[in-house]
Amino acid sequence: MTAETLDDLHGPLWEHFQALSRIPRPSRQEARARDYVAAVADSRNLRWAIDEIGNIVVYLPATPGMEKRDTVIVQNHLDMVTVQARDKVHDFTRDPLQLRLADGWLLADRTTLGADNGIGCAAALALISASDLVHPALELLFTVDEETGMGGARHLDAELLCGKRLLNLDTEDWGELYIGCTGGRGWSMECEFGLDLVPDDHVGGELSLVGLAGGHSGLDIHLQRGNAIQLLADWLNRAGLLGVRLAQLDAGIAHNVIPRDGRVRFSCPGRALPALRALNDQLLQVWRSYLPEADAALQLSMESVRVERVLPEESQTLLCRALLMLPHGVERYATAQAGTMASLSSNLGVARLEDGALYIELSLRYFRDSEAESLTAKVLSVSDSCGFSTARILNYPGWVPDPDSQLLQRACEVYQRRFGEPPRIKLIHAGLECGVLKHRLGELEVISFGPTIRDAHSPGERLEVATVAPFWQYLTDLLATL
């Protein structure tokens, strides 16, 4: 039976997911979600521990007859990406998510849903709450600060865990088992520019760019969706020929989110306004001619505002050159048997200019350190040639696949037995915590799986309800055989 209302979503897993959806949990502000995990553990008199960085581990004893089996780690992250539509007022530090169902998908009202990775957290909590399960001793690990650089996993107290097999529940295509993921590097770039007074014959304006789809900088990067920073840089480069002078720029929210909207404040000669409006119409037509269907709602709007100070022309040229030269998108695809999955990519995620202070964030994803070296050199070369100060904000290892893993073989057998067909074995062009945890915990067998999620890291994030029940059944079947 298809769920038509939220009341149709029954059982411990859905109850925990809806409870987590009422708890604000941005990265580095997961305390209330962690308290909820501890309260669920306390309700069953289970032991739990929190390390210095804020990760929590709940220790779930083996069920009768499973006491001699090896301990298994079930791992998820508590934090979520916090993105809202421009027309949505939502405080992610205070407001609960507003859930809704539409055509078999669970969404939030114009905000990220937090199914990444809240549905995995809910499944782990359901292992505590559900009755009649069979499983070995479990260490339920809930990490923090995953979305901004895997800080929880990188600083995990390894002494809290003894398991040597790990199930990560943070991937987003049901029917697929993941055995490898990309590593990541990221940088911030900063520069301080002087400002000029607005020329006497200039008027002030603000250009807003909205309607791009945005999305996850790993899972969606191969879709070639528009990047608001790149498009605004294109606009600024052309508008500069009409005498436009830049005052402010604001686009993007994080290094791992494809920028979906942005705005520019500027001044220009009053006589240039008709030509500027014509340029806006021309660029919209050009951009729409090559952007994917997901970006069909792209719009530009312009209004008059007061502007007092702008960048000098040479500083504006330098900034515009940097934004046009910094890489964004897929640089290399994986081998033929991996299909069209990206192997190396970059995401130009944030660009802000306020009172002459420039701030940029950019990150790379890659499977092998060696393949990222040339792109790293390009990023640093652009930054250095523009005189920007650069700081590393991100650096974590990838997860090297082990196709001969005994855990993987068992996982495939269980899937085949339950669903009558083999799972698809995949690598993922995204940063899971698996590589970091293998580095922290030493010898470790790992697989990752989860229900189907689409458009993570965007207000369109949605969870396919029909995939949650088989995901839960598979998780419990697998634990019963380990």
Q: What is the pLDDT of residue 275?
A: 98
- Gap between the Cα atoms of 283 and 243, Å rounded: 17
In this predicted model, which residue has the larger pLDDT, 398 or 354? 354
Ramachandran area for residue 65 (φ above 0: left; ψ -120 to 50: alpha; else beta)? left
**pLDDT value for 339:** 54
Rounded to an integer, the average pLDDT of 244-265 is 96
Quote the CA–CA distance of 434 and 153 in Å, as a whole number: 9
| pLDDT exceeds cutoff 90 at 433 | yes
Arithmetic mean of pLDDT, 30-38: 98
79 is catalytic: yes
141-164 pLDDT tens trace: 999 999 988 999 999 999 999 999
CA distances (Å), origin 463, targets 26, 107, 174, 368, 467: 19, 7, 11, 31, 8
Interval 266-283 mean pLDDT:
98
Q: Which amino acid is it at 67?
A: E
Cis before 55 (ω within 30): no
Secondary structure class of 289 (helix, strand, coil): helix
Q: Which of 30, 116, 146, 331 is catalytic?
A: 146
pLDDT for residue 431: 86
Mean pLDDT of 180-204: 96
Distances 205 to 92, 105, 255 between C-alpha atoms, Å: 30, 40, 28
Average pLDDT over every residue of 278-290: 97
**Given a cut of 70, is residue 331 above it in pLDDT?**
yes
Q: How far apart are CA 21 and CA 310, in angstroms?
A: 43
Using CA atoms, how far apart are residues 226 and 224, in angstroms rounded to an integer? 6
Q: For 386-403, how does the pLDDT look when each residue is reduced to its tens digit (9 = 90+)? A: 999 999 999 988 898 899
90 pLDDT tier (thresholds 50, 70, 90): very high
pLDDT at 400: 86
| pLDDT given for residue 59 in this prediction | 98
Q: What is the pLDDT of residue 425?
A: 95
Q: For residue 416, what are the CA distances in angstroms to 132, 161, 361?
A: 23, 30, 43
How many helices (H) and strands (E) in the chain?
Answer: 11, 25
Whether 103 is a known active-site residue: answer no
Confidence of residue 98 (pLDDT cuts 50, 70, 90): very high
Residue 1's pLDDT band, with cuts at 50, 70 and 90, is very low
How confident is the model over 118-149, as pLDDT tens digits? 999 999 999 999 989 999 999 999 999 999 88
- Please tell me the distance from the alpha carbon of residue 445 to that of residue 424, in angstroms, as a whole number: 18
Look over the chain and give the mean of its residue pLDDT values, rounded to a whole number.
95
Average pLDDT value for residue range 41-49? 98
Return all residues near 53 (Cβ < 8 A) that are at least 6 apart: 144, 145, 151, 152, 155, 156, 157
Flag whether pLDDT at 276 surpasses 60: yes
Is 338's pLDDT higher than 60?
no
**What integer pLDDT is reported at residue 340 of this predicted model?**
65
pTM: 0.82
Q: Choosing from 79, 116, 145, 461, which is the catalytic residue?
A: 79
DSSP symbol at 305: -
Mean pLDDT is lowest, of 64-68, 274-278, 321-325, 397-401, for 397-401
